[in-house]
Chains A and B, each alone.
Chain A
Amino acid sequence: MQTFVQAVILGVLTGGLYALMASGLTLVFGIMRVINVAQGAFVILAAYLSYSLFGHLGLDPFLSILLLMPAMFVAGVLTQLVFVRSLRGEHASEMSLLVTWALALGIEGLLSIGYKTTVRATNTGYANKSWTLGSYRFSEPRVYGFAASVVILLGLYSLLRFTRFGRSIRAVVQNPTSARLLGVNERLVSALGFGIGAATAAAAGALYGIVYPFNPGSHYDLISRLLSIIVLGGLGSVGGAVLAAMLLGVTESVVAVEYSPTWASMSFFAILILVLLVRPQGFFGLRERVL
């Protein structure tokens, strides 16, 4: 029981971080039916930048988020303008997968040139500290990372829920054509939406670097999980992605402790396949005919 609860705590803390990465990915899908396979590469890129900022300037990763989020937001907008906007035709969605996949390969290559392929980690002063509550341990960087993820997710939620811009995003998600007819600048919303997706990756990357060791190839590990999360949650549903991310975190962590770490990630894939059998559109997805 002790180990089980400890595993659940760890799983929730991990899930928060994945929720942050996946929310941006699923939001971008909701707005323009585009899957950004480079989301994982964006996360790793941000992890490296934050690593460098910490190493050279001694900037704490949590502070570097404030720098990285706007920077990656701009990078995301540019990516949308240069690579994604020009895709047309009925297979534009599938093409976007391939283009952003190639983009991920490019980022991986550039990072390998700049940083070599050795595994790194941002070693902050609190990296190995933890609190003890009763008989349970709470690793400090993970708790901070979780808290930061929750804050940013709440920020994203407020942006979507309470601002005019957020309302146009939701309008485009629900029905792009009607949104356009009602005067929403869909092209602008798409570009800025892609930027928001990249910004969540930036924040998640800085946090990821504190908790996990990484190298340029780590993005595959991330994107495989992120894709499963957003399919499970229902494509385009930010709430679904958060729920699925928590499920992923807890499942992996519990299976790793109770059964074997080798099969931890497989267990989540197994859940994904079961859900697809019963409910192909995921938890909160729209019926695919609509998409």
Chain B
Amino acid sequence: MTAIRPFGLVRGLVIVGALAAFPFVFNEHWLVNIGVFTLMYAALATAWNMFAGYSGYISLGHVAFFGIGAYTVANTFSVSSPLRGSAYSFTSHAFMSIGSGYRPFYVLPLVGLAVALLSVPIGWVALRTRAITFAIVTLTLLFVFQNLAFNLRGVTNGSSGLSVPTPNFPVETYERPFYFAMLGVLVLGLLLSWHIGRNKLGLMLFAIREDEEKARGLGVRTTGVKLVTFALSAGLTAMAGGVWAYYLTYIYPQFAVDPLVMIGSVVPVFLGGRGTLWGPVLGALILVPAQQYMAYRLGASELYLVGYAAVFVVILLVLPRGILPSLGDAYERWRYRGARVTVQPEEVPAA
């Protein structure tokens, strides 16, 4: 509820403007392809941070919503949807006749909304637990949904996967629509995060992160606050999943609900800074191109997996607070250099 700072506004516009200009400046396919994945992880990280970074609840099951979003889009536009011929045939035909092209992007907000609603009962069960138990329960949910993706053949076509027709976008700029769709999801995530961060909801989330009991004692409706944010975050994650499914045109259970995507959307947040607005984006901008390059150079997935794991461990052990908070500290120290500091925060006796 503070006034919009002009510096912050300019910074946001410059960053988003630079991201939007990227495919026009570098129009090689492989570069824009890396760009699509970078923006996808930036969006996933931003969505994850909005809930986990703000509330302190480490959800390790978010990729389940990514998968649900992917399967929703794939089922709506698939030529071979297993839902056809069942009671759903009318709706899927209705959507089918719309065809593909840019249409899947237009239904994306609906997908996000639907998954946000769907995530409420799931979040409600998971949020009955706290802290580490919540992390474990959500991680279990990841495996539950992966299992469902394999077994609910009527919806997902099981391990044979689902295909979405390849759109007839112009070949030379084929990746651009997906790039801008991902950018759209990211900007939506940033706007929501920014809005939450400067409003009462954000204050309540931060209070929960610091001390949930005290927050509750002061009248914060903790369950409601957590659930609303969980749902928003899940909806955004699903939207990114929808674009992803359309971009790949073929999805399989093990990639739609993939533990690697989960950890790939968490680590940028840790790298950039939890609970900050730009941290997750910064983390993704550093990590994803590096990761894609590594995948390209190391090729064989085994070495790549080892490299990936090593990078994660180093980030978590060396920079657990993240780049932006660490830079913030350094800036504060520089600003107050030479000032006589009488009481170090660490020296304050515990109450």
Interface residues of A (CB under 8 A from B): 29, 33, 35, 37, 83, 86-89, 91, 93-95, 97-99, 101-103, 105-106, 108-110, 112-113, 220, 224, 227-228, 230-231, 235, 262-263, 265-266, 269, 272-273, 276-277, 280-281, 288-289, 291
Contacts and interface: CB of A to CB of B under 8 A. Distances in A.
A105 B262 CA distance: 13
B340 interface: no
Given A97-B60, A109-B306, A112-B301, A102 B316 contact: yes
B266 interface: yes
Interface in B248-273: 259-260, 263, 266-267, 270
A212 B320 CA distance: 38
A83 B303 contact: no
Contact of A97 (B135, B304, B305): B135
B133 A235 contact: yes
B132 A95 contact: no
A235 B130 CA distance: 12
A98 B317 contact: no
Nearest to B132: A93
A276 B125 contact: yes
Interface stretch (B8-16, B139-147, B170-178, B217-225): B139-147
B130 A288 contact: yes
Given A105-B309, A231-B137, A288-B130, 10 more contacts: A83-B313, A93-B131, A94-B58, A109-B306, A224-B139, A266-B147, A266-B148, A269-B143, A269-B144, A269-B147
Contacts of B25: none
Given A83-B317, A224-B140, A235-B132, A110 B306 contact: yes
27 contacts: A86-B317, A89-B320, A94-B131, A98-B263, A99-B316, A102-B308, A102-B316, A106-B309, A109-B302, A109-B304, A109-B305, A109-B306, A224-B140, A227-B140, A231-B133, A235-B136, A262-B151, A266-B147, A269-B140, A269-B144, A276-B128, A276-B137, A280-B128, A281-B133, A289-B213, A291-B131, A291-B133
B266 A98 contact: yes
Given A102-B309, A220-B259, A94 B132 contact: yes
Contacts of B139: 37, 97, 224, 227
B317 A106 contact: no
A280 B130 CA distance: 9
A45 to B, nearest CB: 14
A113 B130 CA distance: 38
Contacts, number: 130
B310 interface: yes
B267 A227 contact: no
B80 interface: no
A87 B125 CA distance: 29
B316 A266 contact: no
Contact of A291 (B132, B151, B267, B309): B132
Nearest to A112: B302
Contacts of A280: 128-129, 133
A109 B303 contact: yes
A87 B313 contact: no
Contacts of B305: 105-106, 108-109, 112
Nearest to B301: A112
A98 B309 contact: no
B127 to A, nearest CB: 10
B135 A94 contact: yes
- Which of A99, A109, A220: most chain B Cβ within 10 A? A109
B151 A98 contact: no
Contact of A106 (B133, B137, B306): B306
Nearest to A84: B317
A263 B213 CA distance: 39
Nearest to B128: A280
Contacts of A263: 151
Nearest to B151: A262
B77 interface: no
Contacts of B304: 109
10 A-B pairs closest in CB distance: A109-B305, A224-B143, A106-B309, A109-B306, A102-B312, A112-B302, A105-B309, A94-B58, A93-B132, A113-B302
Contacts of A291: 131-133
A94 B263 CA distance: 13
B63 to A, nearest CB: 13
Contacts of B128: 276-277, 280
A230 B263 CA distance: 22
B67 interface: no
- Which of B129, B266, B304, B309: most chain A Cβ within 10 A? B309
Contacts of B313: 83, 99, 102-103, 106
B280 interface: no
A101 B261 CA distance: 13
B317 A87 contact: yes
Contacts of A83: 313, 317
Contacts of B143: 220, 224, 269
